[in-house]
């Protein structure tokens, strides 16, 4: 029997990272989030800051899909390949929770993988963002829009799937309606 893996994809501000960590705690299994970034940085030689920002700031890559020129791999492609390897390595170690980084796609052929998407309305997410990350010069609505546009472009480029489309996940939970703790309990019950 293959290992039981939970992947958590999430909208910015929905609490997906928090939910993933709490699920892992309750199940007494590892949660890989920042550990993914550390391992990818170690194996690629790039800084953790650079690796962390690749997924969120890959605006130009999406536009290259429409170019007629031959495509040459760049740093983002190198990091993608290493990221896939790291995700597969963590999944092979045993049951775990993996947050973000297209883990749902990387582990799509793994029979014992529960793919979860956490979402919430913008008002709920905006409040969490302001309380969790603080105010900035950019409006919270603009931050949400930019972050999600980049996540969607990154996901589409590397997976050819629409980020957030319920058909790509086993479970989609609205953390704003049912609450973070209830999301944790639901995911835990499906493990």
Residue 56: pLDDT band (50, 70, 90) is low
Specify the pairing of strand 96-99 against strand 113-119.
unpaired
What are the structural domain ranges in the chain? 5-185
Residues 124-173 have pLDDT tens digits of 999 999 888 776 667 888 888 888 898 888 888 889 999 999 899 999 99
User: Is residue 68's pLDDT more than 50?
Assistant: no
CATH architecture of 5-185: 3-Layer(aba) Sandwich (3.40)
**Per-residue pLDDT tens over the stretch 117-138:** 999 999 999 999 988 877 666 7
pLDDT value of position 154: 86
Cβ contacts of 177-185, under 8 Å, gap ≥ 24: 177/120, 180/15, 180/18, 180/19, 180/22, 181/22, 183/15, 183/19, 183/118, 184/19, 184/22, 184/23, 184/26
% of the chain beyond a pLDDT of 70: 87
User: What is the pLDDT, as a whole number, of residue 137?
Assistant: 63
Classify residue 101 as exposed, middle or buried by CB count within 10 Å of its CB (0-12, 13-18, 19+): buried
Contacts 24+ apart (CB under 8 A), 167-173: 168/104, 168/105, 168/115, 168/117, 169/9, 169/104, 169/115, 169/116, 169/117, 170/114, 170/115, 170/116, 171/114, 171/115, 171/116, 171/117, 172/116, 172/117, 172/118, 172/119, 173/116, 173/117, 173/118, 173/119
Per-residue pLDDT, averaged over 26-51, amounts to 93
pTM of the model: 0.86
For residues 52, 20, 14, 44, the Cα torsion angle rounded to the nearest 10 degrees is: 10
């Amino acid at each position: 029997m293959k290992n039981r893996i939970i992947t958590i994809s999430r909208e910015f501000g929905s609490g997906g990272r928090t939910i993933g960590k709490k699920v892992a705690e309750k199940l007494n299994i590892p949660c890989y989030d920042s550990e993914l970034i550390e391992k990818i940085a170690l194996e690629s030689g790039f800084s953790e800051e650079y690796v962390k920002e690749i997924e969120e700031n890959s605006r130009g890559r999406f536009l290259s899909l429409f170019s007629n020129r031959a495509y040459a791999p760049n740093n983002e492609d190198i990091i993608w390949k290493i990221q896939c390897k790291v995700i597969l390595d963590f999944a092979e170690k045993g049951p775990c929770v993996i947050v973000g980084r297209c883990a749902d796609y990387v582990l799509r052929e793994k029979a014992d993988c529960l793919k979860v998407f956490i979402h919430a309305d913008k008002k709920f997410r905006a409040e969490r963002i302001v309380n969790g990350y603080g105010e900035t010069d950019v409006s919270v609505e603009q931050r949400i829009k930019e972050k999600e546009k980049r996540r969607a472009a990154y996901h589409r480029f590397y997976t050819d799937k629409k980020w957030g489309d319920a058909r790509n996940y086993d479970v989609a939970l609205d953390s704003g309606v049912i609450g973070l703790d209830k999301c944790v309990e639901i995911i835990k019950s499906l493990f």
